[in-house]
Amino acid sequence: MTTRITEVVARDIRFPTSLTLDGSDAMNPNPDYSAAYVILRTNRPDGLEGHGLTFTTGRGTEICVAAINALAPYFLDADVDQIFSEMAPFWRRIVSDGQLRWLGPEKGVIHLATGAIINAVWDLRAKCEQKPLWKLLVDMTPEQIVSVIDFRYLTDVLTPTEALELLRAQEVQKGERERAIQASGYPAYTSSAGWLGYSDEKIRTLARGTVEDGFTAMKMKVGLDLGDDIRRAAIVREELGFETKVMMDANQVWDVEEAILMMKSLAQFDPWWIEEPTSPDDILGHARIRKEIAPIKVTTGEHVQNRIVFKQLFQAGAIDLCQVDSCRIGGVNEVLAVVLLAAKFGIPICPHGGGLGLCEYIQHISIFDYVAVTGSLENRMAEYVDHLHEHFVHPARVENGRYLVPLEPGYSIEMKPESLEEFEFRPGSAATPV
Amino acid sequence: MTTRITEVVARDIRFPTSLTLDGSDAMNPNPDYSAAYVILRTNRPDGLEGHGLTFTTGRGTEICVAAINALAPYFLDADVDQIFSEMAPFWRRIVSDGQLRWLGPEKGVIHLATGAIINAVWDLRAKCEQKPLWKLLVDMTPEQIVSVIDFRYLTDVLTPTEALELLRAQEVQKGERERAIQASGYPAYTSSAGWLGYSDEKIRTLARGTVEDGFTAMKMKVGLDLGDDIRRAAIVREELGFETKVMMDANQVWDVEEAILMMKSLAQFDPWWIEEPTSPDDILGHARIRKEIAPIKVTTGEHVQNRIVFKQLFQAGAIDLCQVDSCRIGGVNEVLAVVLLAAKFGIPICPHGGGLGLCEYIQHISIFDYVAVTGSLENRMAEYVDHLHEHFVHPARVENGRYLVPLEPGYSIEMKPESLEEFEFRPGSAATPV
């Protein structure tokens, strides 16, 4: 029988994380990790549903929910096989709606909503096929992968034909790589230890814990005050020595020249990368920073709005690593476009995981990149943050610094019904007020 | 007495323009010209209100209304003098809200909402001072202008000190220019004749009318089909000859290489500029197109999300003209930043006027640019579209191809109460359904 979407439910889910300063950084001092959460109900007698979310940080989640509701008519009554039989045109229709497009295009709230609902469709598809998302993708032929990507605005740099060649060249090794990654897991790094709101003592304890937990790389927040950054970086290096990779994340607080100055001061701690040194919109600014502070790597991505900006970050030599976000851009389809663009330019992907459900999502993307696109783990790590996983039906699992390959059908993003119920936002409920 | 904001009202206003295809183009086939409309009520006994809107195209206006409501707490109970005594920090707080920022930053829905509400504050301020907005700006000292601009992410290219020098150099000529522009009006061009949904005969009649109406420049839509574009351009040139400037607008439908090919075919009609040849996010793409199709000018702006993207468009030599939009970016404050950036790079501004209320807004910006920033009308024109002005209390007036300088207090954006009432969107009301 065909699987038809019979209902699109959008929910506003907020966790009061600002009370403990988990997730705090120089630009986001008090986030409430939240989600605009989508459930696609179907006509299936087994009650099969597709789930998706876009990560938000508290207030404004209701705006994303409104945007999901505005997109819902495209999905309601749609046949899942039909959607996937012409996936790229379907995706383009969503992002090109003759009226909603004005609100982006392909950026901000409307694109966050697109990410949530498109990911829910992929979750549904993967569950229909009884496969984890990464396996669904890995089992698709190069032609099938290319057929789900909208190459609009990319063809000056990557054509469908080139993408096809790139994927075909990897075909024969897929089986072997799949077995390898299942055996070894995918490398992770941790950001749990370095939030800006934590005390020095908590940073010290957590830094020590990262090595005990088997991580070989950790990230710390910087950017609010250089003196603080130096003191905290010294603590981290005292605990870890210089063998462990330490990355720094400024969350966009600096102007271009300021970023260069700051990183010259912080270079003594041998940061492996500086993340978001300035505005995510400043392609040329990143290129200049990278040139000035080499060999420190420069990276960005959690706020990079779409494939067109990634294209230019690669063209301009602006970043060393690509931190694509799984729901900032328009869901799996556009993530695949970015993964292929990155491969063409030889830029490793290190997806963004600092948020609710993002670790659950990105493990699938990184595994697909390894098995079907690049076959490389060099300079590649998926971010891991040890928060809020208990709310997921099949949470991401990291052991000894590596993601265990998920085996359950779907995109791993489905939350427990009792968590959705408990943390659904209603004025006056758990999340902190304005 | 102090003027205090006592209520923030956000309304969803939609006109069913898709029924006549006014405003139709290759990317927006059936827009319903709409607005997320803000009223700031005050404690003033005379009932003084600040009005602002952000232009939208139908569905999704409710999302912008939700975003305005999310920003409202920053404005409610605020004292207008207090806001203006620390305007740049106030503006930065709005765009940097520790939770709402995640939805942008400074782009898409949340930034459209910022534009509407910030513009309403300026309207209120100008009304308090009993001046049209352009005059309020012109009468500000260079120090005062610089004090309302947030230079974050701009200082690698434009510092407050440079901006100050730039403005000071123009001080002495302001009085003379003010008299001159009041006497002559500000040059306009028309886009009313060239919508894509119009028949050949309607295009011919309207093109003839543009000359009769005193315009020396008109814009036509292209991009859906090259054969149609050639036929319609031929009609326009038959009617106008080659003395009148004809501009073309592709509304983002082309990829980079496609844009170059298409414009080589359309070059025979001597287009003065090609507007939005590709994605507004593609800075490097515009730079390449410009290089390939010179001397045809390249321009964009109505979808350029913020000052950071404009900065790079200028840095990369990507555009010949700057079509800044008055509410796509974060209101007057950010528009001033772009006007100063453009002046630094010697790029003329030709603001975007194709939408509800945009002509009302942009006349103030262009006049300010002339009087206080550049003193030049060379290659400068403000767009004019002859639609929906009847709904405004003080509509923009164009005679003989020139905007008459507005003299009424405020930002000219206040709509008639009866229009707001009649066209307020309620499910099932005048605007067309999905």
Phi, psi for residue A36 in degrees, rounded to 5: -90, 115
Please state, for a pLDDT cut of 90, what percent of chain A lies above it: 91
Of B60, B106, B303, the CB nearest to A70: B60
For helices A283-293 and A256-266, what crossing angle results, to 10°? 30
B152 neighbourhood in chain A, CB within 8 Å: 255
B:84-143 residues touching chain A, CB 8 A cutoff: 96-112
What is the per-residue pLDDT across A140-192, written as a single tens digit (0 to 9) for each?
999 999 999 999 999 999 999 999 999 999 999 999 999 999 999 999 999 88
Mean pLDDT over residues A76-102, rounded? Answer: 97
pLDDT of res. B428: 59
A280 neighbourhood in chain B, CB within 8 Å: 105
> Are residues A283 and B281, on separate chains, in Cβ contact within 8 Å?
no
Catalytic residue among B221, B286, B311, B387: B221
Q: Which site among B28, B63, B158, B306 would you substitute to test the A interface, given the most A Cβ atoms closer than 10 Å to its Cβ?
A: B63
> Are residues B97 and A59, on separate chains, in Cβ contact within 8 Å?
yes
CA angle (B352 as vertex; B350, B357 as ends), nearest 5: 130
Pair A263, A286: CB distance under 8 Å: no
Neighbours of A74 (CB within 10 A): 19
> Are residues B109 and A110, on separate chains, in Cβ contact within 8 Å?
yes
Report d(CA A79, CA B101) in Å as an integer: 36
pLDDT of res. A430: 47
CB environment A143-180: b (16+ within 10 A), e (fewer): eebbbbbbbbbbebbbebeebbebbeebeeebeebbee
B97 neighbourhood in chain A, CB within 8 Å: 59
Ranges of H-type helices in A250-403: 256-266, 283-293, 307-315, 332-345, 358-368
> Are residues B27 and A101, on separate chains, in Cβ contact within 8 Å?
yes
Q: Write the DSSP symbol of residue B349.
A: B
Ranges of H-type helices in A346-386: 358-368
Mean pLDDT over residues B46-61, rounded? Answer: 97
Beta strands in B238-343 (DSSP E): 245-249, 271-275, 297-300, 321-322
pLDDT of res. A17: 87
Phi-psi region of A62 (alpha: psi -120 to 50; beta: other; left: phi over 0): alpha
Pair B77, B10: CB distance under 8 Å: no
Of B63, B101, B309, the CB nearest to A67: B63
Q: State the span(s) of chain B assigned CATH 3.30.390.10.
A: 5-130
State the complex-level ipTM. Answer: 0.97
pLDDT of res. B24: 79
Given pLDDT bands bounded at 50, 70 and 90, which one contains residue A428? low
Q: Which site among B156, B195, B292, B338 would you substitute to test the A interface, given the most A Cβ atoms closer than 10 Å to its Cβ?
A: B156
Helix (H, G, I), strand (E, B) or coil at A260: helix
Alpha-carbon distance values, A257 to A203, A315, B185, B316 (Å): 29, 22, 42, 18
Q: State the span(s) of chain A assigned CATH 3.30.390.10.
A: 5-131
What is the per-residue pLDDT across B108-143, written as a single tens digit (0 to 9) for each?
999 999 999 999 999 999 999 999 999 999 999 999
B308 neighbourhood in chain A, CB within 8 Å: 279, 281-282
Averaged pLDDT of chain B: 95
DSSP-based helix, strand, coil % in chain A, nearest 5: 45, 15, 40
Instruction: Determine the length of chain B.
Output: 434
Please state, for a pLDDT cut of 70, what percent of chain B lies above it: 98
Mean pLDDT check: name the lowest of B19-23, B262-266, B274-278, B326-330: B19-23
Closest CA to A156 of A312, A317, A282: A312
A:275-304 residues touching chain B, CB 8 A cutoff: 278-285, 288, 303
pLDDT of res. B29: 82
A:215-254 residues touching chain B, CB 8 A cutoff: 252
* Per-position DSSP letters for B177-202, written without gaps between them: HHHHHHHH-EEEEE-TT--TTS-HHH
Q: Write the DSSP symbol of residue B433.
A: P
What is the per-residue pLDDT across B313-369, written as a single tens digit (0 to 9) for each?
999 999 999 999 999 999 999 999 999 999 999 999 999 999 999 999 999 999 999
Tokens of A14: 């907020």
Fold designation for A5-131: Enolase-like; domain 1 (3.30.390)
B:10-39 residues touching chain A, CB 8 A cutoff: 27-32
> Are residues A106 and B66, on separate chains, in Cβ contact within 8 Å?
no
Q: Which site among B99, B157, B161, B260 would you substitute to test the A interface, given the most A Cβ atoms closer than 10 Å to its Cβ?
A: B99
Is residue A357 pLDDT above 80, yes or no? yes
Given pLDDT bands bounded at 50, 70 and 90, which one contains residue B237? very high
Report d(CA A15, CA A420) in Å as an integer: 10
CB environment B140-170: b (16+ within 10 A), e (fewer): bebeebbbbbbbbbbebbbebeebbebbeeb
More confident residue, B429 or B396: B396
Q: Distance between alpha carbon B379 and the CA centroid of its chain, in Å?
A: 17
Report d(CA B357, CA A234) in Å as an integer: 55
CA distance B210 to chain A (A): 28
B:43-82 residues touching chain A, CB 8 A cutoff: 55-60, 62-64, 66-67, 70, 73
Report d(CA A88, CA A149) in Å as an integer: 5
Given pLDDT bands bounded at 50, 70 and 90, which one contains residue B433? very low
Mean pLDDT over residues B76-86, rounded? Answer: 97
> Are residues A98 and B67, on separate chains, in Cβ contact within 8 Å?
no
Mean pLDDT over residues A376-405, rounded? Answer: 97
pLDDT of res. A197: 81
Closest CA to A401 of A217, A175, A196, A130: A217
Report d(CA A428, CA B88) in Å as an integer: 32
Q: Write the DSSP symbol of residue B282.
A: -
Its CATH class, for the domain covering A171-418, is alpha beta
* Per-position DSSP letters for A162-185, written without gaps between them: HHHHHHHTTGGGHHHHHHHHHHH-
The CATH architecture to which B5-130 belongs is 2-Layer Sandwich (3.30)
Phi, psi for residue A3 in degrees, rounded to 5: -95, 115
Given pLDDT bands bounded at 50, 70 and 90, which one contains residue B430? very low
CA distance A181 to chain B (A): 33
Is residue A219 pLDDT above 80, yes or no? yes
Is residue A309 pLDDT above 90, yes or no? yes
Q: Write the DSSP symbol of residue A370.
A: I
B:407-426 residues touching chain A, CB 8 A cutoff: none
DSSP-based helix, strand, coil % in chain B, nearest 5: 45, 15, 40
Is residue B419 pLDDT above 90, yes or no? yes
Is residue A54 pLDDT above 50, yes or no? yes
A159 neighbourhood in chain B, CB within 8 Å: none
Question: Strand order in A5-14's β-sheet?
Answer: A5-14, A34-42, A49-56
Closest CA to B335 of B122, B125, B70: B122
Active site positions of A, annotated: 221, 352
Give catalytic status of residue B107 as yes or no: no
A154 neighbourhood in chain B, CB within 8 Å: 255
Q: State the span(s) of chain B assigned CATH 3.20.20.120.
A: 171-418
Sign of CA dihedral B23, B302, B120, B372: negative
Catalytic residue among B111, B352, B364, B391: B352
B110 neighbourhood in chain A, CB within 8 Å: 60, 63, 108-109
Please name the residue of chain A whose CA is at the shortest distance from the CA of residue B433.
A99
B67 neighbourhood in chain A, CB within 8 Å: 60, 63, 109
> Are residues B154 and A255, on separate chains, in Cβ contact within 8 Å?
yes
Of B29, B56, B256, the CB nearest to A98: B29
Question: Strand order in B5-14's β-sheet?
Answer: B5-14, B34-42, B49-56
B290 neighbourhood in chain A, CB within 8 Å: none
CA distance B301 to chain A (A): 13
A306 neighbourhood in chain B, CB within 8 Å: 281
For helices B108-128 and B87-95, what crossing angle results, to 10°? 150
Mean pLDDT over residues A88-94, rounded? Answer: 98
Mean pLDDT over residues A326-349, rounded? Answer: 98
Of A28, A96, A99, the CB nearest to B57: A99
Ranges of H-type helices in A27-107: 61-71, 80-85, 87-95
